[in-house]
Chain A
């Protein structure tokens, strides 16, 4: 089923503030996977559909670039 796994990317350069949904978490659409911090604001990266977090590719406190893969997700 690997072909169904989607890569979630950060749309901004930011600090990873919190992993809200570790690998294995089942989420509804728009539930938060990871919370970034940018300009002192908490910016959520949300589930594009209902599904399950397969893998988290970053750690809290890590700096991510715009476009960087941060998680994989199975709808």
Chain B
């Protein structure tokens, strides 16, 4: 005697679960230009590697004889899979069942997925569409009570939403309307992606904000342009397939958990490669700006730069890259935005980025061209200095190896924040580098006020002082007094950074960081 009847019932229940919310709902999902949760999992995972957990959990109906007639699965689909041959945890909302709402969730399923990622140290990808959370207001009637968020013993999901950030890489994909707890789970990640035309994220959607007098479409309220510029979501893409590719690529630079180090891959790009363009990349006219991204592209392993958060805090560029196959966290200034000065947003971006590097033991490379913190009334109102000293503290709290290339400007307190202050790191200045406590423009008026007031021709005096000081500002004078240790030919940049990446390898310590990452 075998257990065939029981096996048949198991397969029957699984078959019900595979039908999701039913053919109509699946057709509606597709008509909206969106994949189903199972199609998304297939798109993300290596072929045939998804091992589902809790597939047959859901709401069942039986006939009078007690035979199963239907089973609507829970709208949370989760399990283990592999991405590029490495095990990961996948956790997806099924919008075809009650619009992904928590009304139809079995509370323990997403918690187990988060907990499994944490305890088995597996990167976690959250595929988010819907609201999650306490469910719609309908639950007041179905449960007979209002929901105290978290309630008694209901904190586990919220705990892991944050705790996983200090344990494993967490990626969020917003692939439809994402609200409430769904928005929180998307934002509480190391890297979040949304689709441009088919997704929107908000704390509360249009019907709720309309009651407050704001009549907006989903896109106007929480579309990609709003959320990537605000820094609540890192990246926006045209298709779900692109989102999957971004998620896979993000993970390729990282260890599976804080108990590993970033995976080194074979590299066929010559570490000693010199690009002549670097010799004239920086304009001699100090008022003129230049494009930083082509500089990045030519010094890293070919094609290895992976930018994150491009639309937010845009005076700083952040991303992963490889040098001779070794992953690094690369940060660079973008002079096209406020001359590369650190705005409050840029500081917030730096904080999150160096925390990410510290969490996953990634050496940091910083290509600096920073004329200081952003100045002016708007900058003061934005508490730039508060965010600025937080960024300084975040840099100083890192323990990962650092290497800074001063490309052009290093001015003021923001200029100081180019290496951790309390320990030794590597630093090189390009031939185009300039520095100071204050820029001469305005600095002379402040420092030489008495001389200028006493002069017959104020403008002539100003020009005379400026000429005098400029003669002394050559970076070679600084090097002469060993106030900077090395000035380099910019064409040697790649060789020196590959050298740094190699030096950094034995220093990478695969233990949890003392600094716990916050989203």
Contact = CB atoms under 8 A, between A and B. Distances in A.
Given A11-B337, A12-B337, A12-B338, A39 B375 contact: yes
A43 B289 contact: yes
Contacts of B374: 39
Contact of A39 (B288, B314, B339, B378): B339
Interface size class of A (residues with CB under 8 A): 10 to 19
Interface in B263-317: 287-289, 314
B341 interface: yes
A12 B314 CA distance: 10
Contact of B339 (A13, A40, A44): A40
* Residue picked from A14, A40, A41, A42, most chain B C-beta under 10 Å: A41
B335 interface: yes
Given A11-B314, A13-B378, A39 B341 contact: yes
Nearest to B411: A39
Contacts of A42: 287-289
Contacts of B375: 39
Interface residues of B, number: 18
A38 B314 contact: no
A32 B433 CA distance: 26
Interface in A12-68: 12-14, 38-44
B448 interface: no
Contacts of B337: 11-12, 43
Nearest to B379: A13
Contacts of B335: 41, 43
A12 B339 CA distance: 10
Nearest to A67: B229
Nearest to A30: B291
Contacts of B341: 39
A44 B287 CA distance: 11
Contacts of B289: 41-44
B439 interface: yes
A36 to B, nearest CB: 10
B476 interface: no
Contacts of A40: 287, 339, 371, 439, 441
Contacts of A12: 337-338
Contacts of B371: 39-41
Contacts of A11: 314, 336-337
Contacts of A14: 338
Interface string B329-351: 00000011111110000000000
A9 B336 CA distance: 14
Nearest to A13: B378
Residue from the set A12, A39, A41 with the largest chain B CB neighbour count within 10 Å? A39
Contact of A41 (B314, B339, B378): B339
A14 B340 CA distance: 13
B439 A43 contact: no
Contacts of B441: 40
Nearest to A44: B289
A59 to B, nearest CB: 21
Nearest to B283: A42
Interface string B22-38: 00000000000000000
A7 to B, nearest CB: 14
Q: Determine which residue in A11, A13, A14, A38 has the highest number of CB atoms from chain B within 10 A of its CB, and name it.
A: A38
B339 A38 contact: yes
Interface string B135-148: 00000000000000
A75 B339 CA distance: 28
Nearest to A65: B378
Nearest to A40: B441
Contacts of B288: 41-42
A14 B339 CA distance: 11
Interface of A: 11-14, 38-44
Given A39-B374, A40-B371, A44-B289, 18 more contacts: A11-B336, A12-B337, A12-B338, A39-B338, A39-B340, A39-B341, A39-B371, A39-B372, A39-B375, A40-B287, A40-B339, A41-B288, A41-B289, A41-B339, A42-B287, A42-B288, A43-B335, A43-B337
10 contacts: A11-B336, A38-B338, A38-B339, A39-B374, A39-B375, A40-B441, A41-B339, A42-B287, A43-B336, A43-B337
Interface of B: 287-289, 314, 335-341, 371-372, 374-375, 378, 439, 441
Report, nearest first, the 6 A-B pairs whose CB atoms are least far apart: A39-B339, A41-B339, A42-B287, A39-B341, A38-B338, A39-B371
